[in-house]
Structure 1
Amino acid sequence: MEINKNKILKICNVVWSAGERIKSIYSKKFKIFKKKDFTPVTTADLESERIIIEGLEKIFNKPKIFSEETNFKNQKSIKNFWLVDPLDGTKEFIKKNGEFTVNVAFIKNKKPFFGIIYAPILKKTYVGIKNKTYKVINKKSFREITPKKKINKTIIISRSHSSKKDIHKLKKKYNTNKVLFLGSSLKFCYIAEGIAQVYPRIGTTYEWDTAAGHAIINGVGGKVESFKGKEMSYGKKNFKNNSFVARFF
């Protein structure tokens, strides 16, 4: 599947449209439901997913799409497919702290080939494709990101999925006292920009949580891998990830 500049712009417009719908719901009272795994989901998640899936189906011919909220069945011997997290950071959305994103990624041969992360409230868009990553300014110009390596590392940790015990271990492991807390896949973007250098995630996540961020990290020459140093792959059973670390150092 070819993803050229024209198609990247079309995908961006789809994601921005989903973000606008999310913002319209965010500004009002909204209902919160519980999924089978007891995690929260809102009308914004479902509306965003609908817009993205419909948008991708208009741009590409019969794309294979797997999305967090509804469409993750028929997973058999897949290598090339789309992963969608229509609202990453639902807990942050509910808290109304603005730290949530829309994530869309294309997986090619079980590796992230393209990814876009959009934070509607923070008005930040990041795009990673092949060996380049861009920050989109004012939804118009694409500025390539090239972070500088730093001797003193800053760890970035999930705002909603971290314990004091884990934080203490991670500070010791990476020999630093500099810690940032942030929600959603924005953590990958901050690594790509050089604001932080390492994002360790302990526990289970899903491929739609990481794929777009992985593409963005790859674009600046960083790594997303297991704690044993094996690069994360995609198309795994039930789309489950084990613990991992995203880093640029």
Structure 2
Amino acid sequence: MIEPICRLARDAGTAIMRVYDGDRPLELTHKTDDSPLTAADLAAHKVIEAGLRSLTPDIPILSEEDTPGWDIRRGWTRYWLVDPLDGTKEFLRHNGEFTVNIALIEKGQPVMGVVYAPATDILYAADAGKAWKMTSDGTRMDIHCKDARPPLVVVSRSHGNDSELQDYLLQLGEHQTVTMGSSLKFCLVAEGSAQLYPRFGPTSVWDTAAGHAVAAAAGAQVNDWTGQTLDYHPRESFLNPGFRVSLF
């Protein structure tokens, strides 16, 4: 099933780029939590929702742009977890660091994931314990985490100045840092370009599931700060605890 999911992520990316390139109006609004919402978010959601319902009508969908109530979700053991446009702030900044995220959750864990970056036409995918990257010229390569000294630490472009993060980096020892938006941070660790992604700021389950699948399949650990693997069993809150993605 991974190939049609990859195509679906690309189709959603095409819808996003029509807005990004100015072919469709932006239609910027804000949600109740003051996070931005654009026509690109909604267009990508519609593409993915329609595609998943056609491919797997028996598997429910939880999308950032359509969140069924707790009474509906509480019994789910298998579901799609989707962020149609992860990194809307980066989209608005026009820096290309935004993605389409689609993950399949089974018994609380992401067993399949696709992260597609439409602006660069680079796709990361994971299925059956393997992770790979598709470049813009169609080249497919398996990816694996790689150790390096000093490690390269990737941090959120929007939360890079958080005090908890800065304290952590001070205690880390010798390292280098790079900033990145969206779930591409998971993918940098997965492909070996970075060795550590620590996160203290807020994230939601749809922000992390697809990247989690890719990083884990490439050999990374995705654990909260108590050492427990990030969990996606249905719960009332969509918020994740703080976590780190690393080889160690």
TM-score category by the smaller chain?
A: over 0.9
Match of 1:33 in 2: 29
- The one-letter code sitting in structure 2 at the alignment partner of 1:64 is P
- For the residue of structure 2 that corresponds to 1:44, the secondary structure is helix
Q: How many residues were matched structurally? A: 243
C-alpha distance in structure 2 between counterparts of 1:52 and 1:71, whole Å? 14
Instruction: Note the C-alpha offset of 1:210.
Output: 0.4
Q: Using a 3 Å threshold, how does the CA distance of structure 1 residues 189 and 51 change in structure 2: closer, same or farther? A: same
The question of whether the paired residues in 2 share the 8 Å contact of 1:83 and 1:211 is answered with: yes
Does the 8 A contact of 1:158 with 1:183 survive in 2?
yes
Q: Which residue matches 2:125?
A: 127
CA contact (8 A) 2:150 2:175 kept: no
SS of the aligned residue for 1:230 comes to coil
The answer as to 2:2 corresponding to 1:8 is yes
SS in 2 for 1:121: coil
Q: Which runs of 5+ in 1 are unaligned?
A: 1-6
Report the AA paired with residue 239 of structure 1: F
3-state SS, counterpart of residue 21 of structure 1 = helix
Out of 80, 102, 107, which is 2:78 matched to?
Answer: 80
Question: 1:167-223 CA distances to partner (integer Å, 9 max, x unpaired)?
Answer: 431322321341100000000000001111111111321111000011001101111
Q: Which residue of 2 aligns with 1:236?
A: 235
- Following superposition, the deviation at residue 152 of structure 1 comes to 1.8
Residue 126 of structure 2 contacts residue 217 of structure 2 at CA under 8 Å; is this kept in 1? yes
Seen in structure 2, the aligned counterparts of structure 1 residues 76 and 167 have a Cα distance that, compared at 3 Å, is closer
Letter of the structure 2 residue corresponding to residue 23 of structure 1 = M
Residues 134-213 of structure 1: pairs in structure 2 closer than 5 A: 134-138=132-136, 140-163=138-161, 165-213=163-211
Please point out which of 19, 22, 31 is paired with 2:16: 22
Identity of matched residues, % = 37
8 Å contact from structure 1 (residues 131, 221) kept in 2: no
2:57 counterpart (55, 61, 72) = 61
SS in 1 for 2:145: coil
Deviates more, 1:102-111 or 1:167-176: 167-176
TM-score (norm 1): 0.92
Q: TM-score scaled to structure 2, two decimals?
A: 0.93
Query: What is the CA deviation profile of residues 24-72 of structure 1, one whole-angstrom value per residue up to 9, with x for unaligned ones?
Result: 1101151210101111110100000000010111111322100001233
The answer for the alignment partner of 1:71 in structure 2 is 67
Secondary structure of the corresponding residue to residue 125 of structure 2: strand
> Is the contact made by 1:204 and 1:243 (CA closer than 8 Å) also made in structure 2?
yes
Give the match's secondary structure for 2:226.
Answer: coil
Q: Find the aligned partners of 2:231 and 2:241 in 1 and give their Cα distance.
A: 11
Q: Unaligned 5+ residue runs, structure 2?
A: none
Asked whether 1:42 is paired with 2:41, we answer no
Greater Cα shift, 85-94 or 67-76? 67-76
The aligned amino acid for 2:20 is Y
CA contact (8 A) 2:81 2:104 kept: yes
**1:153–1:174 contact (8 Å) kept in structure 2:** no
Amino acid at match of 2:240: N
CA gap of 1:166–1:238, structure 2 versus 1, over 3 A, is closer
User: 1:4 maps to which residue?
Assistant: none
In structure 2, do the counterparts of structure 1 residues 150 and 90 end up closer, same or farther at CA, with 3 Å as the change threshold? same
**SS in structure 1 opposite 2:237?**
helix
Aligned to 1:115: 113
Q: Partners of 2:148 and 2:175 in 1: how far apart? A: 15
